[in-house]
Amino acid sequence: MTNDLLIARVAGERFALAAIEVQSVIALGEIVPVPLAPSPVVGLATQRSRTLTVIDVALALELPPAGPTARFAVVVELDGVGYALAVEAVENVIPALGELRAPKVKLSPGRARSAMGMVDTSVGTVLQVDLTRLVGGAEQKAA
């Protein structure tokens, strides 16, 4: 089984997502804000006739919010709901060179909550994040 990873840049840092979970990558257009929605939900965007809930990945990882610098989004689907994960850039889809392993350093709480582990790739060792935990970030915090 090829273990392809999508490498995205968030707040200047590389993160990996399992490519198999990614439906598409879109350029973010207008984001319609959702008043009083919990972080990291920043609004709604559309992909043709589909409405996507926009998650600011930087916020989800408790990094400085990307705001308007997030021009791209990784489209994923969880429990039938489409999400657009806003990131600074999407770099590539590359195979993982090896297994996931526990991080050697202590991660910041925001990263630790979503992290699956470190993985080696041709662009270096990156942190692979879990989609469900990334998207449900604020909910877990509240619970």
The footprint of another protein (CB under 8 A) covers 30, 32-38, 41, 44-46, 48-51, 53, 79-81, 83, 135-136, 138-139
Q: How far apart are CA 91 and CA 7, in angstroms?
A: 5
Helix (H, G, I), strand (E, B) or coil at 59: helix
CB of 119 to another protein, least distance (A): 28
CB of 96 to another protein, least distance (A): 29
Closest CA to 94 of 4, 1, 2, 3: 4
CB of 16 to another protein, least distance (A): 23
Please identify, using beta-carbon distances, which residue of 34 and 97 lies nearer to another protein.
34
Q: How far apart are CA 54 and CA 47, in angstroms?
A: 11
